[in-house]
């Protein structure tokens, strides 16, 4: 692996000298995310392996090109998991599945995000190669290791624009001893109100998903709630919640693949609609969970107890959606654009305010002075 690292360093040094853009890529499972890819391909998928793992310490250190599925399989053998449930886009083919580096760079979390935290909360340390071809280490391999600014977590969600991740240390957690899924038929307003009431009680809520496709005839409004925790706590919560609202319990054999489909966005909702007059994009609205139900004419799916809302809408809805999200204290981004990502003029992410834009520019200049890493992947000017 030292040879691969030296190749990375040499390529980055040469690219910086000639100001040649580099496109950092792991498994390619999230190529759709963000602005269009630019530059010469710099792949990490050959830089794989578990550097260190001691289950009793609840910490694993892994190379960035390691397939996410391989890491999760290793953790499962020890009865542990990545609690934030990163989406596993791509196929079972190692060359097309997501990698651990891509998981950190994209910072995407699954259904349990609202209850257990996101990717950033589980990153303890990273090693990376910056734009000066320096191999740097930030953070460490223990729970409390940072005095001052936590640079390792700065890399979470940076989309590879600040450097090439090489090694990542992550906190892992034991798999919960019990799990149950309940389903209730109710509209979005009722579902959000009920989730807020349950959230104020000592219940082991882990994930929720409300979905209804108003364009489909006789499509029910369904709220799914997943509970995880001690056996007694889960059973008691099921009894209390089913007494609060009419619903039913789903067998885990049926519920587990459904939650996996929600996590990996393979539910029917995430299939692009085909009857629309205009091409539709998959929009991701990140909002305060207390935001009321959105009265919009497009199919919606609500996760994270109201904090994440998905919908299919055309480019012409950009101003409406971003104003709606901003008024609620959140933001709206284009998660998947239809067809080629170059066909829409609308930026994928919200425009930064001047203060944040200046912070981004200074960080970029410090870590990548020649501006070679994933140029324009987040914002055209960065």
Q: Give kind and range of the element (H or E) at residue 208.
A: strand 205-212
Domain that holds residue 198: 178-343
E strands, 92-131, are: 123-129
Say which range, 98-102, 218-222, 241-245, has the weakest mean pLDDT. Answer: 218-222
Residue 378 lies in a domain: no
Same domain, yes or no: 220 and 284: yes
Asked whether residue 351 is domain-assigned, the answer is no
Model confidence at 381: pLDDT above 80: no
**Taking 90 as the threshold, does the pLDDT of residue 157 lie above it?**
yes
pLDDT band at 97 (very low <50, low <70, confident <90, very high): confident
**For residue range 285-343, what is the model confidence (pLDDT) as tens digits?**
999 999 999 989 988 999 999 999 999 999 899 999 999 999 999 999 999 988 654 56
Closest CA to 261 of 316, 204, 301, 305: 301
Given CA atoms 226, 230, 233, 234 in this order, what sign does their dihedral have? positive
Q: Inform me whether the pLDDT recorded for 271 exceeds 60.
A: yes
Here the CATH number for the domain that contains residue 131 is 3.30.465.10
Same domain, 28 and 165: yes
- Residue 284 above 80 pLDDT? yes
pLDDT, residue 347, reads 87
Asked whether 121 and 152 are in contact (CB, 8 A), the reply is no
pLDDT at 218: 63
Tell me whether residue 227 is exposed, middle or buried, using C-beta atoms within 10 angstroms of its C-beta: 0 to 12, 13 to 18, 19 or more. buried
* Residue 159 placed within a domain: yes
pLDDT value for 380: 76
- DSSP conformation letters of 302-365: EEGGGTEEEEEEEGGGHHHHHHHHHHTT-EEEEEE-SS-GGG--S-SSPPPPHHHHHHHHHHHH
Residue 277 has pLDDT above 80, yes or no: no
205-212 and 300-303 strand pairing: antiparallel
Whether 153 and 239 map to the same domain: the answer is no
Sequence-distant (6+) residues with CB within 8 A of 27 are 45, 67, 90, 94, 95, 96, 97, 98, 99, 102
Mean pLDDT value across residues 374-378: 93
Both 23 and 98 in one domain: the answer is yes
pTM, rounded to two decimals:
0.92
Q: Say if residue 266 is in the same domain as residue 328.
A: yes
pLDDT of residue 95: 47
Lowest mean pLDDT among 201-210, 348-357, 365-374: 348-357
Residue 352 in domain? no
Indicate whether 234 and 99 sit together in one domain.
no
Residue 348, domain member (yes or no): no
- Hey, is 104 helix, strand or coil? helix
Judgement on whether residues 286 and 318 belong to the same structural domain of the protein: yes
Residues 72 and 191 in one domain: no
Looking at the chain, the whole-number percentage of residues with pLDDT higher than 90 is 80
Whether 298 is covered by a domain: the verdict is: yes
Q: Is there a domain that residue 379 lies in? A: no
What is the mean pLDDT of the segment spanning 127-145? Answer: 84
Q: Are residues 116 and 236 in the same domain?
A: no
Is the pLDDT at 147 greater than 60? The verdict is no
For residue 217, name the pLDDT band (cuts at 50, 70, 90).
low
Residue 142 has pLDDT above 70, yes or no: no
Q: Are 135 and 183 found together in one domain?
A: no
Can you tell me the distance from the alpha carbon of 222 to that of 211, in angstroms, rounded to the nearest whole number?
6
For residue 47, give Cα distances in angstroms to 101, 137, 232, 296, 338. Answer: 10, 17, 44, 45, 32
CA dist list (Å): 174 to 13, 83, 100, 104, 178 = 41, 8, 19, 20, 12
Running DSSP on this structure, what letter comes out for residue 12? H
Q: What value does the mean pLDDT take over residues 125-137?
A: 96
Q: Are residues 186 and 297 in the same domain?
A: yes
SS3 137: strand
Q: Is there a domain that residue 372 lies in?
A: no
Query: How many separate domains does the chain show?
Result: 2
Q: What is the mean pLDDT of residues 247-276?
A: 92
Are 164 and 215 in the same domain?
Answer: no
pLDDT reading at 130 higher than 50: yes
* DSSP helix/strand/coil, 10: helix
Q: Which residue has the higher pLDDT, 355 or 144?
A: 355
Confidence tier at 92 by pLDDT (50, 70, 90): very low
More confident residue, 142 or 294: 294
- Indicate which CATH number applies to the domain containing 333: 3.40.462
């Amino acid at each position: 692996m030292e040879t691969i690292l030296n190749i990375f360093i040499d390529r980055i040094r040469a690219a910086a000298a000639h100001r040649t853009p580099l496109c950092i890529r792991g498994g390619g499972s999230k190529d759709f995310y963000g602005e269009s890819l630019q530059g010469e391909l710099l792949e990490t998928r050959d830089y794989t392996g578990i550097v260190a793992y001691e289950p009793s310490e609840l910490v694993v250190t892994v190379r960035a090109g390691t397939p996410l599925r391989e890491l999760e399989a290793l953790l499962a053998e020890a009865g542990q998991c990545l609690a934030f449930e990163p989406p596993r886009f791509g196929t079972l083919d190692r060359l097309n599945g997501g990698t651990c580096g891509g998981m950190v760079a994209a910072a995407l979390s699954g259904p349990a995000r609202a209850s257990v935290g996101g990717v950033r909360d589980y990153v303890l340390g990273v090693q990376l190669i910056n734009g000066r071809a320096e191999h740097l280490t930030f953070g460490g391999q223990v729970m409390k290791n940072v005095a001052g600014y936590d640079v390792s977590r700065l890399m979470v969600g940076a989309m590879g624009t600040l450097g090439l991740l090489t090694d990542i240390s992550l906190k892992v957690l034991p798999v919960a001893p019990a799990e149950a899924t309940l389903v209730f038929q109710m509209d979005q307003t009722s579902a959000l109100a009920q989730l807020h009431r349950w959230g104020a009680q000592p219940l082991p809520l882990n994930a929720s998903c409300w979905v209804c496709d108003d364009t489909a005839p006789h499509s029910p409004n369904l709220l799914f709630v997943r509970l995880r925790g001690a056996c007694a706590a889960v059973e008691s919560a099921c009894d209390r919640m089913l007494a609060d609202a009419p619903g039913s319990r789903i067998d885990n054999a049926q519920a587990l693949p459904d939650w996996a489909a929600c996590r990996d966005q393979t539910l029917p909702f995430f299939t692009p609609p085909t009857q629309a007059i205009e091409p539709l994009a998959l929009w991701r609205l990140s909002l305060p969970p207390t935001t009321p139900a959105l009265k919009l004419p497009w199919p919606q799916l609500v996760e994270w107890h109201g904090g994440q809302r998905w919908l299919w809408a055309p480019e012409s809805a950009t101003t409406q959606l971003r104003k709606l999200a901003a008024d609620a204290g959140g933001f709206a981004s284009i998660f998947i654009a239809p067809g080629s990502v170059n066909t829409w003029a609308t930026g994928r992410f919200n425009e930064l305010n001047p203060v944040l834009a200046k912070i981004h520019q200074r960080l970029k200049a410090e870590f990548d002075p020649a501006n070679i890493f994933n140029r324009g992947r987040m914002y055209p000017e960065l």
